[in-house]
Chains A and B, each alone.
Chain A
């Protein structure tokens, strides 16, 4: 396969993962004002839960993935109750620190239970290679691309068209008005958190069969996902998707054409440029959600 195709496919894959983790972050910032720094660790936890389900429950890959998402959404509901809700009325830095602490705790726990050694997950689909012309891809990679885009479209539809989704969007515009109109803001915060964690777990479920499973994969991805949120701004989910793909592509292009070392800071340089030129983000509607302390 041509290197440029390889780079593009990798870039889109990376972008999809950043995007799915970033959508959760964007939803939660919008609804409860808390920047969820633990979302990366939920992504990692999703990978380990899937690893356990595939290892101990004899059901196929797709049912396992579904079960994994449900379990993570449940964990997300508990985590929201413990680490987000008590802090909704406090300065944002409190939520920032509490979710960082939660992430640290989850990562430490996984390190104790599974050690730092990377694990591999094999699905029936990772072995099958499809060849179209001179482009060959494993079926798992196709599942990842289709699943990633599908999850984006579904989340976008959910937020824009359903009643609950409209409630979520209303929350990010005016919390006070939501209270007056009888929207349960705690319930909305819980739903946003569960949705965010579920999307992160889904991303992990798609990616982990392709790469190794490591306790550090959460902290590796979380800051880039935040950079994606800042680049996109707080607003439509489609903005995040676009920014994530942009970051994923520039990252894989930069690491090939400039220097692999450059890869880890591309997203940050990108973010700094956006903040200097358009501080509310490329698609951001208003800046006070990002600028609150």
Chain B
């Protein structure tokens, strides 16, 4: 059943992949390419948050902190070390992952559900404070407002080639080479034993435990994979924007990630992708709406209202709704 289901989807995924390769070539505008890059960054962030918040059912506020830690790691190392960029990128994922494993074992073993969400909220606040106030005193090259003048990334495989990513289009294809395998990995992961264990934890944790699933290890694993990819997203952002600020760990970002995830449809694959795309493209489109000046205040009010309406009216998000429609159509046929 599941196999047939995914076969029907294959054509849709193929179209998405081909379009994502061709679209930036057709739209030769730096601004549009920038929107598409940021959409991909948010797809990685939302899908990795989905693993813990959507698939496992544990809301985590710590994602912006992992994103910011990845960005800081990458920014500082690019500025001060001679490590090749691919190594830096890997390291900017590993550091948040190590932190998340420590946090996971510390808290998952003691608290569940909402209390866990509060510990991640606390962690995010503390991490934000460390980035903005402690780090500048210890690490050279970090200012109180962030890390400035981060050099562009250079990808080199020594005997073969060396290439510095300078324009938006370079970064676009580089990120695409991360995003597509990542989406593939997420889709595979959910049909493995681990993925099913996560779903079991979400639906009924006590029952999952009774069936012999090691809930602690599985929860930590989901949390750690999420943190790793959030760090990778941050690690990519640093040389792309060439500036990293402690605001990356601020409340604005978890609100944004939650909006993308819960409007898109937590626990699905296509949902977070749609949510991340819609909520990174829509504000830019609204900027061109005639007669309305699209201020950050208006954006906040609209985001809040749309998230509220979606949560109440379409409980499973846009992705869940699409799934439902496809199933219904299939059932009729």
Which residues of A line the B interface, CB within 8 A?
35, 82-83, 86-87, 90-94, 96-98, 100-109, 111-112, 116, 219, 223, 226-227, 230, 261, 264-265, 268-269, 271-272, 275-276, 279, 287, 290-293
Contacts and interface: CB of A to CB of B under 8 A. Distances in A.
Given A91-B57, A101-B307, A103-B304, A279 B110 contact: yes
Given A104-B300, A293-B57, A293-B112, A276 B106 contact: yes
Contacts of B258: 97, 100
Interface string B188-212: 0000000000000010010000000
A83 to B, nearest CB: 6
B115 A275 contact: yes
B27 interface: no
Contacts of B102: none
A230 B118 contact: yes
Interface string B97-127: 0000000001100111111011101100110
A261 B246 CA distance: 15
Given A272-B122, A291-B112, A82 B301 contact: no
Instruction: Describe A's contact surface by its main secondary structure.
Output: helix
A105 B305 contact: yes
A98 B308 CA distance: 5
Interface in B57-108: 57-59, 106-107
B125 A268 contact: yes
B242 interface: no
A101 B311 contact: yes
26 contacts: A82-B308, A87-B311, A92-B114, A93-B117, A101-B303, A101-B308, A105-B301, A105-B304, A109-B301, A111-B301, A226-B121, A227-B122, A264-B125, A265-B129, A271-B122, A272-B122, A275-B110, A275-B118, A275-B119, A279-B115, A291-B112, A291-B113, A291-B114, A292-B112, A292-B113, A293-B205
Contacts of B122: 227, 265, 268-269, 271-272
Contacts of B113: 92, 290-293
Contacts of B155: none
B304 A104 contact: yes
A71 to B, nearest CB: 20
B180 interface: no
B316 to A, nearest CB: 10
Contacts of A104: 255, 300-301, 303-304, 307
Nearest to A261: B133
Contacts of B17: none
Interface in B230-258: 251, 255, 258
B111 A112 contact: no
A291 B111 contact: yes
B12 interface: no
A114 to B, nearest CB: 10
B22 to A, nearest CB: 36
A112 B301 contact: yes
A292 to B, nearest CB: 5
A103 to B, nearest CB: 7
Given A112-B298, A226-B118, A227-B118, A102 B57 contact: no
B53 to A, nearest CB: 7
Contact of A275 (B59, B111, B303): B111
A226 B121 CA distance: 10
B205 to A, nearest CB: 8
A90 B314 CA distance: 12
A262 to B, nearest CB: 8
A97 B54 CA distance: 12
A290 B295 CA distance: 37
B312 A82 contact: yes
B110 A111 contact: no
B110 A276 contact: yes
B300 A223 contact: no
Contact of B312 (A98, A111, A223, A268): A98
B223 interface: no
Contacts of B115: 230, 275, 279, 287, 290-291
Given A105-B301, A265-B129, A94 B111 contact: no
Among B121, B302, B304, B315, the most chain A Cβ lie within 10 Å of the Cβ of B304
